[in-house]
Amino acid sequence: MTDTVTGAPPAAHHSALSPTDDIARWLELFDAALTRGDVQAATQLFTTDCHWRDLIGFTWNLKTVEGRDGVQDLLTATLASTQPTNWRTEGQASRANGVTEGWFTFETAVARGRGYARLKDGLCWTLLTTVYELKGFEEKKGRARIKGAEHGVHKGRQNWTERRQQEEAELGISVQPYVLVIGGGQGGIGLGARLKRLGVPALIIDKHPRPGDQWRSRYKSLCLHDPVWYDHMPYLPFPDDWPVFCPKDKIGDWLEMYTKVMELNYWSSTECVKAKYDEEAKEWEVTVLRDGQTLVLRPKQVVFALGMSGVANVPQIEGADIFKGVQHHSSKHPGGDAYKGKKAIVLGANNSAHDICADLWENGADVTMLQRSSTHIVRSDSLMDLALGGLYSEQAVENGITTDMADLIFASVPFRIMHTFHIPVYEEIQKRDADLYDRLRKAGFMLDFGDDGSGLFMKYLRRGSGYYIDVGACDLVANGDVKLKSGVDIARITEHSVILSDGTELPADLIVYATGYGSMNGWVERLVSPEMAAKVGKCWGLGSDTTKDPGPWEGELRNMWKPTQQEALWFHGGNLHQSRHYSRYLALQLKARMEGLDTPVYGLQEVHHIA
């Protein structure tokens, strides 16, 4: 009986259980403790070094707590309002290297959820709890799908086209959207699809003439660097003959098609000019310019969905105003067609810089890359085989791992310990691709594998920069086809050249600033106010106290897909995988607020950095 109360099963009993029974027994003990309201007993079911990641199930937040003290605090604050129950295993669990792991489902007073647990010696080491639907507000799918046809005889009936045209004509004009999504790339479009399925009136606005133009307008050689299995949109996966790495115009066409068939309310050629929040009315006043006409929208919620980055970083360099050639940020680079025989300088050495250098070289330009600091390089094939293949690959699909399963397994690894999962992978990659790394170093290229050797994804999460997924450009640098100057910056610019920080002068007809972007709250500063930007603070990063990710530890990505310090202001972005997965939780949070559900936020993120 003591074991039941404390949640510490006898070792002999534990060793005799199958993996699925092990998970089931833990869930039974956990459920019983929660039902009794015995927080202390529930807490003792966790290891002392445990991690519980909750995606809106208990916290109405994206929140990770650590250690038994963290678990106890979360349960003390949320148990009464959450009323969790009905914890059940789902599928078959597994056991390897002393860790038992498996799926489960559960319910709360207002939601249904799914989770993933890892046990060590019968105690929970990592726990993921997520919500997939709200009770009474389920998506109309499967057996609940709408009929479509309106059988019978009805005077003055509207057909589907007329109803759709009416909705498009009214929303934003005579009927205000509940949610305004600023940014109509893959993030805004995917979120719009989630909101549409949930019955949330949402309007997406974007400055480009057509959905997908965000991709079409980039340099012509651009392809996705992530594989197709990682990049599906919500609800509509790519066809099974879709290329592994999708060309930019093809993804642009897919997004345009998706916007239409998912019946999204999308205003193209529309730019947000300014916005302010009315604290008394609890609504936004957003001024937009649509096809040259000024309109004012009054949504209750605003989502900035302008990618994982903010305003482009364009360095202010002495002499830039007198340069006789062409200069632009990498986001504005149209392609290398016009630069055959020209001298091109690319400032930067990450993804865009490498792609643009390769594009210019292929078009006959004389290209020099300026590398200011070290870059993490990983070959695409190695990344797919060793880092992504277990969850996102044709083999994973054949093994029965769906996209949703892969997303949840990926999400189940707490950020605090994620680097320990990645370090062995990148140690193997260094062995596998040693020849490439040796050749790059001999060419003078400054390499790194992250501050702790954890490689690409941790650099992405911590700082959103500092890496290149190699699809061929590294050979150009290693071979000297693309010239390299490392450890330097541009000190000043003349009419026809750049002067580097080491005194070298390089002739230039084109300067491309592949210098990244600022924090997403830079858009808030530009469109709302500096005060509100400071109030919500920096976006992205974990507080890992590594390069460009200052502490303290946050536990989750700053401000992404969760409540911020500014009521009714949200941020959405990231790569296609993150946009797909986390749009679910953002959409459910918005739906809950629209329906008036009680959404007490546990662990609202504090602001430690403004930008």
What is the tally of helices (H) and strands (E) in the chain? 20, 24
- The SS3 call for residue 325 is coil
Q: Would you say 413 and 460 are in contact if contact means Cβ atoms under 8 Å apart?
A: no
What pLDDT was estimated at residue 535? 97
How is residue 519 written in tokens?
Answer: 């924090």
What pLDDT was estimated at residue 153? 85
What is the layout of strands, in order, in the sheet containing 179-182? 266-267, 202-205, 179-182, 301-304, 569-571
Question: If pLDDT is split at 50, 70 and 90, which confidence band does 396 have?
Answer: very high
Of 580, 579, 227, which Cα lies nearest the Cα of 389? 227
* pLDDT exceeds 70 at position 35: yes
What pLDDT was estimated at residue 7? 36
Please compute the mean of the pLDDT values over residues 413-418 and round it to a whole number. Answer: 98
Strands 179-182 and 202-205, sheet pairing: parallel
Question: If pLDDT is split at 50, 70 and 90, which confidence band does 307 have?
Answer: confident
What pLDDT was estimated at residue 150? 79
d(CA 479, CA 11): 59
pLDDT in tens, 559-604: 999 999 999 999 999 999 999 999 999 999 999 999 999 999 999 9
d(CA 229, CA 226): 8
* pLDDT exceeds 80 at position 16: no
Question: If pLDDT is split at 50, 70 and 90, which confidence band does 308 have?
Answer: low
Question: If pLDDT is split at 50, 70 and 90, which confidence band does 303 have?
Answer: very high
Crossing angle between the packed helical segments 186-197 and 576-594, to the nearest 10 degrees: 40
* pLDDT exceeds 50 at position 13: no
What pLDDT was estimated at residue 309? 64
d(CA 132, CA 584): 7
Question: If pLDDT is split at 50, 70 and 90, which confidence band does 517 have?
Answer: confident
Please compute the mean of the pLDDT values over residues 441-470 and round it to a whole number. Answer: 97
* Average per-residue pLDDT for the chain: 94
What pLDDT was estimated at residue 611? 80
Of 437, 463, 419, which Cα lies nearest the Cα of 382? 437
Considering the chain, what percentage of its residues have pLDDT values greater than 70?
Answer: 97
Question: If pLDDT is split at 50, 70 and 90, which confidence band does 462 have?
Answer: very high
d(CA 295, CA 316): 34
What pLDDT was estimated at residue 543? 97
Please compute the mean of the pLDDT values over residues 467-475 and round it to a whole number. Answer: 96
pLDDT in tens, 51-61: 999 999 999 99
Give me the torsion for CA of 531, 532, 535, 541, rounded to 10°.
Answer: -120
- The SS3 call for residue 305 is coil
* pLDDT exceeds 50 at position 477: yes
Q: Would you say 310 and 515 are in contact if contact means Cβ atoms under 8 Å apart?
A: no
**What are the Cα distances from residue 7, in Å, to 19, 25, 35?**
17, 10, 14
- The SS3 call for residue 474 is helix
Return all residues near 16 (Cβ < 8 A) that are at least 6 apart: none
Q: Would you say 144 and 607 are in contact if contact means Cβ atoms under 8 Å apart?
A: no
Please compute the mean of the pLDDT values over residues 480-491 and round it to a whole number. Answer: 98
* pLDDT exceeds 50 at position 24: yes
How many CB atoms within 10 Å of residue 481?
13
pLDDT in tens, 111-170: 999 999 999 999 999 999 999 999 999 999 999 999 888 788 888 889 899 999 999 999
